[in-house]
């Protein structure tokens, strides 16, 4: 078996792995990256990017159908239709351009990329079976970085196959089902459920808990629930999925009382979450400290074994691509001798439903549980001129700040396009801004960002436009 030598060996070419490799290459570290499938990982290939492309396409088609009726904008369109094959081709083109860009950046920075499946031998040695069926290779390294990501969680009674699909299959539809059942009312299930509804499918969302999007507070979720009703998405809460019926054309459900019912379905999307990908490649041989299925790390992304590092989804929540990227850059810089610690003030998270939700820092309930005496204030988009011109008056921006010194500890927003406010939220939290700092900053008019300033002003007791 051929043996190769490298300073840094990275398993996984997703957002965390490829960013770590690029930064390591910039810093002159000899780096090898192993990826079994496509560069960019789940996020770029079958997650963040393709889902946002389909969300955009579905919204464009939905608006076109809206214009086929009576539009207050005076726009009229006759008999709109969508060519799913072309839509998927367009989506795949975006993914392809981005993966090619990642490959070019890795090459530019001198990173050796091996397409194949890795198996950990020990903390310094990994065996790789190349995807082209060539002879296996052994790679010896000084530093091993685990960036293996996460995988979809399955339901025992609904294994993937046939009518039962995962989010991966849902992102490349060949035909549109008449009736789709989505299992799980978290962000993945709702994002894709809304896409399929806007494309014309009848969609029912089934959730075992008593509310949708349970990680967010009820005030943030209300506009999304209202949008689901308006779109005609049926939501069944407090119901558990037992499996398919004998004929395979309906989902069997049980409610809190134990009553069994059937829900007809041409397609069933299981979207109940993701789990760290820490099994199946020999990781257990290292006997690392774990948090369940997640690899335990410290504030430098070090595991319990010297010179073995881990970043991203394999380390558990929050499973966010931008967290993995930041961790990957940090590890590369520490290996290069820089002094770094991973201690962000906040990591913004976005739910790309209709409308969108963005959260950065602490929500009011979280601040209270942390023992902070806080004030909070919201500014509605119904009072924002730019939102009105975008027909996007639903939703609001909310700020949470300490009562004693007005230091901001959290931002939340729900509304059309609020994902683009996440940067402003993160900036203010990372820089330790107070309400007065944001309130005194001149915000461009007319923009959605004015609602950020107005929320701070309202928390201080003198909002201008409400």
* Domain with 191 in it: 164-272
Residue 342 lies in a domain: no
SS3 sequence of the chain:
CEEEEEEEEEECCCHHHHHHHHHHHHCCCCEEEEECCCCCHHHHHHCHHHHHHHHHHHHHHHHHHHHCCCCCCCCCCCCCCCCHHHHHHHHHHHHHHHHHHHHHHHHHCCCEEEEEEEEEEECCEEEEEECCCCCCEEEEEEEEEECCCEEECCECCECCECCEECHHHHCCCCCCCCEEEEECCCHHHHHHHHHHHHHCCEEEEEECCCCCCCCCCHHHHHHHHHHHHHHCCEEEECCEEEEECCCCCEEEEECCCCCEEEEECCEEEECCCEEECCCCCCHHHHCCCEECCEECCCCCCECCCCCEEECHHHHCCCCCHHHHHHHHHHHHHHHCCCCCCCCCCCCCEEECCCCEEEEEECCHHHHHHCCCCEEEEEEEHHHCHHHHHCCCCCCEEEEEEECCCCEEEEEEEEECCHHHHHHHHHHHHHCCCEHHHHHCCCCCCCCCCHHHHHHHHHHCCCCCCC
Q: Give ∠ CA 78-84-90 in degrees, rounded to 5.
A: 105
Asked if residue 138 and residue 38 are part of one domain, the reply reads: yes
Asked if residue 104 and residue 92 are part of one domain, the reply reads: yes
Asked if residue 261 and residue 169 are part of one domain, the reply reads: yes
Q: Which residues does the annotation mark as catalytic?
A: 445
Asked if residue 22 and residue 134 are part of one domain, the reply reads: yes
Asked if residue 190 and residue 316 are part of one domain, the reply reads: no
Structure tokens at 298: 């410290």
Residue 23 lies in a domain: yes
Asked if residue 443 and residue 392 are part of one domain, the reply reads: yes
Asked if residue 168 and residue 234 are part of one domain, the reply reads: yes
CATH number, domain of 371, equals: 3.30.390.30
Asked if residue 246 and residue 203 are part of one domain, the reply reads: yes
Instruction: List the chain pLDDT tens, one digit each, 466 residues.
Output: 789 999 999 999 999 999 999 999 999 999 999 999 999 999 999 999 999 999 999 999 999 998 887 788 888 888 899 999 999 999 999 999 999 999 999 999 999 999 999 999 999 999 999 888 778 999 999 999 999 999 999 998 899 999 999 999 999 999 999 999 999 999 999 999 999 999 999 999 999 999 999 999 999 999 999 999 999 999 999 999 999 999 999 999 999 888 999 999 999 999 999 999 999 999 999 999 999 999 999 999 999 999 999 999 999 999 999 999 999 999 999 999 999 999 999 999 999 999 999 999 999 999 999 999 999 999 999 999 999 999 998 999 999 999 999 999 999 999 999 999 999 999 999 999 999 999 999 999 999 999 999 999 999 999 999 9
Rg, Å, the chain Cα set: 24
Residue 341 lies in a domain: no
Strand partners, 251: 244, 263
Owner of token pair 């608006």? 63
Residue 344 lies in a domain: no
Asked if residue 282 and residue 137 are part of one domain, the reply reads: yes
Residue 371 lies in a domain: yes
Domain boundary among 272, 290, 316: 272
* Sign of the CA dihedral with 208 first, then 213, 215, and 220 last: negative
Total domains in the chain come to: 3
pLDDT for residue 79: 86
Distance CA 211, CA 186 (A): 10
Distance CA 74, CA 181 (A): 35
CATH number, domain of 92, equals: 3.50.50.60
Asked if residue 92 and residue 17 are part of one domain, the reply reads: yes
Residue 280 lies in a domain: yes
Nearest to 239 by CA among 271, 268, 263, 265: 263
Asked if residue 306 and residue 218 are part of one domain, the reply reads: no
Residue 78 lies in a domain: no
CB burial class (10 A; 0-12, 13-18, 19+) of residue 42?
buried
Residue 452 lies in a domain: yes
Structure tokens at 363: 């929500």
Asked if residue 148 and residue 110 are part of one domain, the reply reads: yes
Beta carbons within 8 Å of 233's beta carbon, 6+ residues apart: 193, 194, 197, 203, 204, 205
């Amino acid at each position: 078996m051929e043996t190769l030598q490298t300073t840094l060996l990275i398993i996984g070419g997703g957002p965390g792995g490829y960013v770590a490799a690029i930064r390591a290459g910039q810093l002159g570290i000899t780096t090898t990256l192993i990826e079994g499938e496509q560069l960019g990982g789940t996020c770029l290939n079958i997650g963040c990017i393709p889902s946002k492309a389909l969300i955009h396409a579905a919204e464009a088609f939905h608006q076109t159908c809206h214009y086929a009726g009576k539009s207050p904008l005076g726009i009229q369109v006759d008999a709109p239709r969508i060519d799913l094959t072309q839509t998927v081709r367009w989506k795949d083109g975006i993914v392809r351009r981005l993966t090619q860009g990642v490959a070019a950046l890795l090459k530019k920075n001198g990173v050796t990329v091996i397409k194949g499946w890795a198996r950990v031998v020990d903390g310094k040695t990994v065996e790789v079976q190349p995807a082209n069926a060539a002879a296996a290779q052994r790679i010896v390294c000084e530093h091993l970085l685990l960036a293996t990501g996460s995988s979809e969680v399955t339901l025992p009674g609904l294994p993937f196959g046939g009518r039962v699909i995962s989010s991966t299959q849902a992102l490349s539809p060949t035909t549109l089902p008449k009736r789709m059942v989505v299992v799980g009312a978290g962000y993945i299930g709702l994002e894709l459920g809304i896409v399929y509804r806007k494309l014309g499918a009848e969609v029912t969302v089934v959730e075992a808990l008593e509310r949708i999007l349970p990680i967010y507070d009820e005030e943030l979720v209300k506009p999304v629930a209202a949008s689901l009703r308006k779109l005609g998405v049926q939501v069944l809460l407090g119901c558990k999925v037992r499996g398919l019926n004998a004929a395979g054309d309906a989902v069997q459900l049980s409610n809190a009382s134990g009553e069994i019912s059937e829900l007809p379905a041409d397609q069933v999307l299981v979207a109940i979450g993701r789990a760290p990908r820490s099994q199946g490649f020999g990781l257990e041989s290292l006997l690392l400290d774990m948090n369940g299925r997640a690899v335990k790390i410290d504030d430098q992304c070090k595991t319990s074994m010297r010179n073995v590092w881990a970043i991203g989804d394999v380390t558990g929540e929050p499973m966010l691509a931008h967290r993995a990227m930041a961790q990957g850059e940090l590890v590369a810089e520490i290996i290069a001798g820089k002094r770094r610690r991973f201690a962000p003030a906040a990591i913004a998270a976005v739910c790309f439903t209709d409308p969108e939700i963005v959260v950065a820092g602490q929500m009011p309930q979280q601040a209270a549980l942390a023992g902070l005496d806080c004030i909070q204030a919201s500014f509605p988009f119904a009072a924002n001129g730019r939102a009105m011109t975008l027909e996007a008056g639903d939703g609001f921006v909310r700020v949470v700040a300490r009562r004693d010194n007005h230091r901001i500890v959290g931002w939340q927003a729900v509304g059309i396009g609020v994902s683009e406010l996440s940067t402003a939220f993160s900036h203010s939290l990372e820089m330790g801004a107070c309400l007065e700092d944001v309130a005194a900053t001149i915000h461009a008019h007319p923009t959605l960002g004015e609602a950020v300033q107005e929320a701070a002003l309202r928390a201080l007791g003198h909002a201008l436009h409400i």
